[in-house]
Structure 1
Amino acid sequence: MKKIILISLLFSRFTFAALATPEEISKEFSSLAKKYAIKTEDLGIYATTGDGESQQVLLDVNGKVVMIPASISKVATASAVLSAFPPGTKFKTQLWTSGKIQDGILKGDLYLKGGGDPSFVSENMWFLVNAFLRTDIKKIEGDIVIDDSLFDKVRYDMSRQKERVDRAYDAPVGAMSFNWNSVNIFVRPGNGDGSAKVFIDPENDYIRLVNKAKSAPGSANDLLADRKDDPKFPGDVISVGGRIGRANKEIVVFKNITQPDLWAGYNLKAFLAQRGIPVTGKVRNAEVPASADMVAESESKAIEQIVADMNKFSNNYVAEMLTKNLGTLKKSKAVTLADGVAVINEHMQSLGIPSDQYKLTSPSGLTRDNRLSSFAMWKVLQHLRNDFRVQPEFLTSLPIAGIDGTLKKRMKNGPAERWVRAKTGFLTNVVSLAGYAGLQDGRVITFSFVYNGSTDEAKVRAFFDNLLIYLVK
Structure 2
Amino acid sequence: MARELTPGAGIILAAPEGEILFEKNATRQFIPASTIKVFTALTALKYLGENFHFTTDFLLDKHLNLKIRGQGDPLLTSREIRTVSTHIKKILQKNHISHIQQIMVDGSAFKKGIVIPGTGGSKNPYDAPVGALSANFNTISFKTTGPKSGGDAPPAAGSATPWISAEKETPLVPFAREIIAGAGMKSGRIPLAHGTQALYAGHLFTWFLEKEGIKTEKTITMAEVNAGDRLMFAWRSPYDLRQVVAKLLYYSNNFMANQLFLTLALKQEGAPATLEKGIKVAMAHAASLGIKDLFIEEGSGLSRQNRISPRSMLRILQAFKPHHGLMRYEKNEYYKTGTLQGVRTRCGYFQNRQGELYPFVIMVNQENKGYEKIKKKLQKIVREWKIKG
Identify the TM-score tier after normalising by the shorter chain. 0.7 to 0.9
2:108 pairs with one of 110, 130, 149: 149
8 Å contact 2:128–2:138 — kept in the other structure? Answer: yes
8 Å contact 1:128–1:297 — kept in the other structure? Answer: no
Cα distance 1:281–1:344, how it changes in 2: closer, same or farther (>3 A)? Answer: same
Shift of residue 171, structure 1, vs aligned partner: 0.9
Using the alignment, how far apart are the partners of 2:35 and 2:149 within structure 1? 49
1:23-78 alpha-carbon deviations (Å, 9 max, x no partner): xxx3xx655x3xxxx3x1x1000111131xxx432211111111111111111111
Note the aligned Cα RMSD (angstroms): 2.2
2:227 pairs with one of 280, 290, 293: 290
Using the alignment, how far apart are the partners of 2:294 and 2:271 within structure 1? 29
> Which region of structure 1 is more displaced relative to structure 2, 299-308 or 461-470?
461-470
1:416-453 alpha-carbon deviations (Å, 9 max, x no partner): x1x11111111111110011010002322110110011
1:398 matched to 2:310: no
The alignment partner of 1:88 has SS state of coil
1:65 matched to 2:31: no
Shift of residue 381, structure 1, vs aligned partner: 0.6
Q: TM-score, normalised by structure 2?
A: 0.87
The alignment partner of 1:377 has SS state of helix
8 Å contact 1:207–1:237 — kept in the other structure? Answer: no
8 Å contact 1:95–1:128 — kept in the other structure? Answer: no
Using the alignment, how far apart are the partners of 2:360 and 2:250 within structure 1? 18
1:431 is matched with which residue?
A: 344
1:335 is matched with which residue?
A: 273
After TM superposition, list the pairs within 5 Å mapping 1:408-419 onto structure 2: 417=331, 419=332
The alignment partner of 1:123 has SS state of helix
Using the alignment, how far apart are the partners of 1:162 and 1:280 within structure 2? 36
After TM superposition, list the pairs within 5 Å mapping 1:313-392 onto structure 2: 313-353=251-291, 355=292, 357-385=293-321, 391=322
Provide structure 2 residue ranges, at least 5 long, that are not aligned to the other structure: 156-160, 384-389
Shift of residue 469, structure 1, vs aligned partner: 4.5
Letter in 1 for 2:16: G
Which has a greater percent of strand? 1
1:255 is matched with which residue?
A: 190
Q: How many residue pairs align between the two structures? A: 363
The alignment partner of 2:185 has SS state of strand
Shift of residue 193, structure 1, vs aligned partner: 8.4
Using the alignment, how far apart are the partners of 1:167 and 1:176 within structure 2? 20
Shift of residue 471, structure 1, vs aligned partner: 4.3
1:335-371 alpha-carbon deviations (Å, 9 max, x no partner): 1121012111110100112x2x221122111011111
1:205 matched to 2:174: yes
Shift of residue 202, structure 1, vs aligned partner: 2.9
1:463 matched to 2:376: no
Cα distance 1:310–1:193, how it changes in 2: closer, same or farther (>3 A)? Answer: closer
- The runs of at least 4 consecutive aligned structure 1 residues that moved more than 4 Å come to 191-197
> Which region of structure 1 is more displaced relative to structure 2, 370-379 or 112-121?
112-121
Q: Which has the higher contact order (CA 8 A, sep 6+)?
A: 2
Shift of residue 108, structure 1, vs aligned partner: 2.8
8 Å contact 1:208–1:238 — kept in the other structure? Answer: no
1:171-196 alpha-carbon deviations (Å, 9 max, x no partner): 111111111111111345x3578899
- Rg larger for: 1
Using the alignment, how far apart are the partners of 2:310 and 2:148 within structure 1? 57
Provide structure 1 residue ranges, at least 5 long, that are not aligned to the other structure: 1-25, 100-106, 210-226, 229-235, 242-251, 386-390, 402-416
> Which region of structure 1 is more displaced relative to structure 2, 42-51 or 280-289?
280-289
